[in-house]
Amino acid sequence: MTARILEGKVFAQAFREDAQKKAAALQEKYGVQPGLAVIIVGSNPASQVYVRNKHKSCEALGIYSEVIEMPETTTKDELIAKIDALNADVKIHGILVQLPLPEQIAAHESEILERIRPEKDVDGFHPVNVGRLVTGEPGLVPCTPFGCLRMLELAGIPIDGQRAVIIGRSNIVGKPMLHLLLGKNATVTICHSHTKDLPAITREADILVAAVGRPKFVTADMVKPGATVIDVGINRIAPKKLVGDVDFESVKEVAGAITPVPGGVGLLTVAMLMENVVRAAEMQLQA
């Protein structure tokens, strides 16, 4: 049996439409257009592409967008002063600092990101938002794992009471995914580079999330027949060839549902950012 393919573009489109409707509702109810500011420091070409995509996506959905380009030589204090100005700007509901930061300020990344007001932290990285996620209070949640959860829900994949296994414990994917699935009453196990006998654990999963950063790491023998496999990995194995953390060709013959790479989870992240900007605006207007 071949798995159901969970196409990222279908879910991303649904999230975008949702964000667009909610943005229009805020305009109608409060006369307010949700606004995003993205700060980019330096000229990393990949970052410039990501920032352009975010800007275009905002424009398409009726979200106000500002891109603030700062030179490679920007100091920590200059960047923090910019964040402070955006924290105080009523047009801006979400602030995002594009990573990676240039070398001279990279060591201050945490201090810089924590300067963003938690209400405007649309990446969901601020410790206040991390705490809210852990305690189950409403807050802003990192876009990629939030997109995975919303996709599972929209696809009608049962979560409540299911066994979920996550491979990877990063702060931006693995750990928030753990709390999101736990919040939906899954029984969750998180695995990492020190986990012993990983395949025995992954074979128990009804929902298997791979966020490892290793090409085709999850093979068919690691997957329970009928399981849902979410591949968060993006690995470039040749100049124009991306593969996920899951060996798609073999695993799709065992799994019940699977996300492809490219064309899967990667497409959800910017769509969820749009949702987060609208949610940030809603929370600020209702506060």
Q: Which residues bind ligand NAD (CB under 6 A)?
A: 144, 167-170, 172-174, 191-193, 195, 198, 211-214, 232-235, 265-266, 269
Three-class SS of residue 9? helix
Query: Which candidate, 213, 124, 102, places its Cα nearest to that of 113?
Result: 124
| Closest CB 20 distance from ligand NAD, rounded Å | 21
Residue 210, C-beta contacts closer than 8 angstroms, at least 6 positions apart: 167, 168, 217, 218, 229, 230, 231, 232, 233, 244, 245, 246
Nearer to ligand NAD, 62 or 244 (CB): 244
CB of 91 to ligand NAD, least distance (A): 27
Position with the least CB separation from ligand NAD: 170
Q: How far is the CB of 226 from ligand NAD (least distance, A)?
A: 23
135/196 with CB nearer ligand NAD: 196
Exactly one of 22, 82, 121, 123 is catalytic; name it. Answer: 123
**219 vs 235 by CB, closer to ligand NAD:** 235
Question: Least distance from C-beta 155 to ligand NAD, angstroms?
Answer: 17
CB 195 within 8 Å of CB 214: no
Cβ closest to ligand NAD, residue 32 vs residue 166: 166
Annotated catalytic residue 9: no
Supply the DSSP symbol for 125: -
What are 240-244's contacts with CB under 8 Å, separation 24+? 243/215, 243/216, 244/210, 244/215, 244/216
**Is residue 54 annotated as a catalytic residue, yes or no?**
yes
241 is catalytic: no
CA torsion, points 256, 175, 194, 237, in degrees to nearest 10? 60
Of 98, 206, 231, 245, the active-site residue reads 98
Q: Would residue 136 be called left, alpha or beta, if left means φ above 0 and alpha means ψ between -120 and 50 degrees?
A: left
Indicate which residue of 54, 175, 216, 252 is catalytic.
54
Nearest C-alpha neighbor of 166 from the set 181, 152, 154, 153: 181
The catalytic residue positions are 54, 98, 123
